Amino acid sequence: MNKFSFTFQMAPLFHYLFLFLVSSCAAQTSFRPKALLLPVTKDPSTLQYVTRINQRSPLVPVPLTLDLGGQFMWANCYTDYVSSTYRPARCKSAQCSLAKSTACSVECPGAPKPGCNNNTCALMPDNTVTRVATIGDLGSDLVSIQSTDGKNPGQVVLVPKFLFVCGSALDGLARGVVGMAGLGRSPISIPSQFSSAFSFRRIFAICLTSSSNSPGVVFFGDGPYRFLLNTDASSNLIYTPLIKNPVSTASAYTQGDASSEYFIGVKSIRINDKIVPVNKTLLTINREGYGGTKISTVNPYTVLQTSIYKAIITAFGNALSGVPRVASVAPFGLCFNSTSLTSTRVGPGVPQIDLVLQNNDVFWRIFGANSMVQVSEDVLCLGFVDGGVNPMTSIVIGGHQIEDNLLQFDLARSRLGFSSSLLFRQTTCANFNFTSNA
Ligand SMILES: *[C@@H]1O[C@H](CO)[C@@H](O)[C@H](O)[C@H]1NC(C)=O
Ligand SMILES: *[C@@H]1O[C@H](CO)[C@@H](O)[C@H](O)[C@H]1NC(C)=O
Ligand SMILES: *[C@@H]1O[C@H](CO)[C@@H](O)[C@H](O)[C@H]1NC(C)=O
Ligand SMILES: *[C@@H]1O[C@H](CO)[C@@H](O)[C@H](O)[C@H]1NC(C)=O
């Protein structure tokens, strides 16, 4: 794992320019959408969640790996980038201050083109899969996206100057993908830019699916979020505060940067209502930014600090002692012969795992469909992996554990709303009706 820390001199912030930027960003269209959406599919070989953003002039679909905690959208602009509307962000411009860029690339040798312009501010696009960060120009281009009434896709709307960063670290990303779609806590993340372009509340939601042909969905803006047959997944959410980690968790960062990832306050863990003994210190974020619990779409499975991992494996194994174990299959450490397990509406009948939040009555309950992974016809493994003795974050809730759960990030109120398994409501995240009614 590479870890660099760069320190740049802070550029002064121009507040009046910031206001100017926000108003000039507003979409030049009379139709004002209430919410927007992006379809998301799962890539079967990398287990990454992939979306497509229509960008450039003429518009092309740009495939990107979804990165829930990512700081912004980054994409390869060095090859096959053709657009008449690309504009570099000039050093000290409002766009650079909004993006908190403190680095200026003064001169780029050669003819100007996307990713190579004089006097352009730079940021560090982060491939959070391989943890390789590069340095790249900030620029803007046209983005087109479908609006939604919460039930179907509607009219397409345009954002003329959508900010993104040129990046080139594509190794490790799904085939065909040319960058990452960052939904993190940052003024230029995708949700931030859409909310300011269309003046809606800073809320977005993700509903991911394991299906590689029927897409799941990201909604920007508030609900309803309706799934067939007419289930509004934004109703009856359970809420927990979103927590800020004051220390960046990115592969490269400027000293003093906070993390753009979403942390929640897991206070304890229960299996079949029994407390699993874990070291509480690991559950809180310390001054160096270590510890705590975050949610990630880049990790396919939940990753646990070694002592927490061992405690969960032991407790889960004990709670399922009646079911024959089979040899474990990497990367998992606890596997069962599935022919001895019952099946329920919410997956294999196994002990429920509760992540207990702000108090004992608020918990995220993980059922079989989200805890167990089918690795072969009659082998099911507990879908948690060992993250080592000293990872920066003690619990990283990964993709398999959030599929078919709706997660709504309300940045204005700094809270996460979660639905628990939609399978209980006889629907799934693959059940959004993508037939347009525009
Ligand atoms: C940058 O400026 C130099 C000196 O003025 C010029 O020779 C070069 O072509 C410019 N490069 C770009 C990419 O604009
Ligand atoms: C709990 O974890 C903290 C942080 O890693 C460590 O310093 C401490 O020694 C651990 N306590 C026990 C009892 O293992
Ligand atoms: C699972 O149990 C069934 C029935 O006892 C047996 O036929 C099968 O071989 C077992 N599978 C494994 C992987 O042990
Ligand atoms: C999906 O939406 C379309 C367009 O509104 C509608 O005609 C169709 O009946 C919907 N499908 C289902 C299964 O409800």
114 alpha carbon, closest ligand: 1
Query: Which residues of 58-215 form beta strands (DSSP E)?
Result: 60-67, 73-75, 87-88, 103-105, 120-123, 126-127, 132-133, 136-148, 153-166, 179-182, 203-207
Say whether pLDDT at 66 is over 60.
yes
What is the per-residue pLDDT across 182-200, written as a single tens digit (0 to 9) for each?
999 999 999 999 999 999 9
312 Ramachandran zone, left/alpha/beta (phi>0; psi -120 to 50): alpha
What CATH architecture applies to the domain 238-431?
Answer: Beta Barrel (2.40)
Pocket lining: 149 vs ligand 4, CB cutoff 6 Å: no
Ligand 4: distance of its center to the CA of 86 in Å?
37
Class of domain 4-225: mainly beta
Average pLDDT of the residues of the chain: 92
What integer pLDDT is reported at residue 19 of this predicted model? 31
What integer pLDDT is reported at residue 15 of this predicted model? 29
pTM of the model: 0.92
Mean pLDDT computed over 326-338? 97
Ligand 2: distance of its center to the CA of 242 in Å?
24
Residues 6+ apart with CB under 8 A from 50: 40, 41, 42, 43, 63, 64, 65, 66, 174, 177
Mean pLDDT computed over 347-372? 98
Contacts 24+ apart (CB under 8 A), 325-332: 326/379, 328/381, 329/375, 329/376, 329/379, 329/381, 331/301, 331/385, 331/386, 332/301, 332/373, 332/375, 332/381, 332/382, 332/383, 332/384, 332/385
230 alpha carbon, closest ligand: 4
Say whether pLDDT at 7 is over 60.
no
Residues within a 6 A CB radius of ligand 1: 107-108, 110, 112, 116-118
pLDDT-derived band at 211, boundaries 50, 70, 90: confident
Say whether pLDDT at 16 is over 60.
no
Q: Where in the chain is the domain with CATH 2.40.70.10?
A: 4-225, 238-431
Which mutation among 338, 378, 379, 380 tests ligand 3's pocket best, with the greatest number of atoms within 8 A of CB? 378
What integer pLDDT is reported at residue 28 of this predicted model? 46
Q: What percent of the chain has pLDDT over 70?
A: 93
The ligand 4 atom at the shortest distance from the C-alpha of residue 433 is 1
Classify each residue of 265-304 as buried b or exposed e, where b means 16 or more C-beta atoms within 10 Å of its C-beta.
Answer: bbbbbbbeeeebebeeebbebeeebbbbbbbbbbbbbbbb
What tokens does 296 get? 């990630």
10/68: higher pLDDT? 68
Write the residue with the smallest CA distance to atom 11 of ligand 4: 433
What is the per-residue pLDDT across 91-141, written as a single tens digit (0 to 9) for each?
999 999 999 998 999 999 889 999 999 999 999 999 999 999 999 999 999
4/314: higher pLDDT? 314
The ligand 2 atom at the shortest distance from the C-alpha of residue 305 is 5
Ligand 1: distance of its center to the CA of 152 in Å?
48
